[in-house]
Amino acid sequence: MVPRYSRPEMTAIWSPETRYKIWFEIEALAAEAMGNLGTIPADAARTIREKGDARTADITATDVDRIDEIEHETRHDVIAFLTWLGEGIGPEARFMHQGMTSSDVLDTCLNVQLTRAADLLLRDLDAVLDALRRRAEEHALTPTIGRSHGIHAEPTTFGIKLAGHWAEFARCRTRLQAARAEVATCAISGPVGSFASVDPRVEAFVAERLGLRPEPVSTQVIPRDRHAAFFCTLAVVASAIERLATEVRHLQRSEVREAEEYFHPGQKGSSAMPHKRNPVLSENLTGLARIVRGYATPALENVALWHERDISHSSVERVIGPDATITLDFALMRTAGMMDKLTVYPERMKANLESLGGVVHSQKVLLALTQAGMSREDSYRAVQRAAMATWTALGTPNGRTFRDELLADPEVSAKLDAAALDTAMDPAKDFRHVGNTLARVFATGGL
């Protein structure tokens, strides 16, 4: 967790104080359920709740240190917490944690944290989606060249570009909701998950109060395939960020200059070269995406625990739980901000689009020639010949536009005269379906 890539709300989810509050909440709810069932005295449950609330309500760094100190002796984090908590509760403390095992507390707590984190990430995704949709609609009909392999292909609009990214993030939102559901379970099933000393109704009660589902069958731990699926989903979201960041980086290249990250007054691009304005946000996002993706592998390796549980997953989750969600939260909000303020240069888009002498209309000519009866192979050769001639002479004194090259080619002009050629190459064709496509993508949620 690197402070510069952390936002406070997400960071707070992973603080020791939050964790201990959730632990207490689980213990108090379990005690309440046991009190209701008569497993422990109902009075004891009330005492646990009241005195425990008092002890944990404003838990401080000093308390955290004290718990650490007890853990240093017992070498067991949950026992250390229960001991500290018991000091504040008194004799009734012995009725806490009855029939439970530490995994009940730890795993349920982790899932509470992950679902809270997911809720923040969903909100972040909404911010990204909002920015993308607004800019997509703003530039619905801003012409720009579409590029395949980095080479000018055919015209499209900047709005369509952004709509593609919107759709990808919309799918990510759907995936993240599914991933949230994966980890929204609660286990209070005792050692080896057998419920030998704890009633399953306790689990049902705690789950319901925490907004979780009971884990259908736990092996003491909540199975880690759930968490693997969760972190893989974060990795996919990170990759969506990287695709958008890569687009911005390309558009801001000196030779392209079609869009630019907002450059703050007072900002300095380089310690050496005062002329620099660099796409540092999108490059930063590219790196953050690598980080978040990197956490998928250890999450997958965490699945194959031994028998009913081993604790090898724990150190991994202490790292990737906070780091993956905090980093992704930061990255998503940076993405939203970047897209919100992105400076777009439609004039430059137009200039680039027109910079290759019209060869980007080659397909339309190819089709017109085949419709006019030429074979696909012959048409292809003729159009390729003209396009290459235009391309090669770009910027030279004797260069000719693609249209002129075609008209000068007897094989082509035998099939298409100037008027037919102009009809074929009509740029209006390129944008006729833009409105439908935008409508479709927003209607389907990108699915």
72, 149, 264, 275: which is the annotated catalytic residue? 149
339 binds its own copies (CB under 8 A): no
Q: Is 72 a catalytic residue?
A: no
**CA 359 to CA 426: how far, in whole Å?**
13
Task: Tell me how far, at minimum, the Cβ of 125 lies from its own copies, in Å.
Answer: 13
Q: Is 433 a catalytic residue?
A: no
Task: Tell me how far, at minimum, the Cβ of 135 lies from its own copies, in Å.
Answer: 15
Extract the tokens encoding 365: 């000519």
Binding test (CB under 8 A) with its own copies, winner from 306, 397, 398, 419? 306
Span of 48-56, 111-119, 406-414, 434-442 interacting with its own copies by CB under 8 A: 434-442
Q: Which of residues 135-174 bind its own copies (CB under 8 A)?
A: 145-156, 160-161, 163-164, 167-168, 171-172
219 binds its own copies (CB under 8 A): yes
- Per DSSP, 360 falls in state G
**CA 399 to CA 405: how far, in whole Å?**
9
Nearer to its own copies, 120 or 324 (CB): 324
Q: CB–CB of 10/329 below 8 Å?
A: yes
**CA 96 to CA 92: how far, in whole Å?**
8
Q: Can you spell out the DSSP letters for 244-278? A: HHHHHHHHHSTTT-SEE----TT--S-SS-TT---
343 binds its own copies (CB under 8 A): no
Using CA atoms, how far residue 253 sits from 150, 258, 271, 291, 344, in Å, is: 12, 8, 19, 24, 13
Task: Tell me how far, at minimum, the Cβ of 54 lies from its own copies, in Å.
Answer: 20
User: Among candidates 176, 148, 168, 316, which has minimal Cα distance to 242?
Assistant: 168
312 binds its own copies (CB under 8 A): yes
Q: CB–CB of 83/23 below 8 Å?
A: no
Task: Kindly report the length of the chain.
Answer: 447
Task: Tell me how far, at minimum, the Cβ of 41 lies from its own copies, in Å.
Answer: 10
Task: Tell me how far, at minimum, the Cβ of 168 lies from its own copies, in Å.
Answer: 5
Span of 46-54, 107-115, 365-373, 413-421 interacting with its own copies by CB under 8 A: 365-373
Span of 49-57, 111-119, 123-131, 271-279 interacting with its own copies by CB under 8 A: 271-279
Q: Which of residues 38-77 bind its own copies (CB under 8 A)?
A: 73-76
**CA 138 to CA 128: how far, in whole Å?**
15
Q: Distance between the two ends of the chain, CA-based, in angstroms?
A: 33
Task: Tell me how far, at minimum, the Cβ of 247 lies from its own copies, in Å.
Answer: 7
398 binds its own copies (CB under 8 A): no
Q: Which of residues 80-99 bind its own copies (CB under 8 A)?
A: 82-83, 86, 91, 93-99
Span of 53-61, 117-125, 354-362, 412-420 interacting with its own copies by CB under 8 A: 354-362
Binding test (CB under 8 A) with its own copies, winner from 118, 279, 339, 403? 279
**CA 28 to CA 314: how far, in whole Å?**
24
194, 197, 270, 355: which is the annotated catalytic residue? 270
Nearer to its own copies, 375 or 423 (CB): 375
Q: Which of residues 194-213 bind its own copies (CB under 8 A)?
A: 194-197, 200, 213
Q: CB–CB of 143/187 below 8 Å?
A: no
Helices (H), 342-401: 346-353, 362-371, 376-392
Catalytic residues: 149, 270
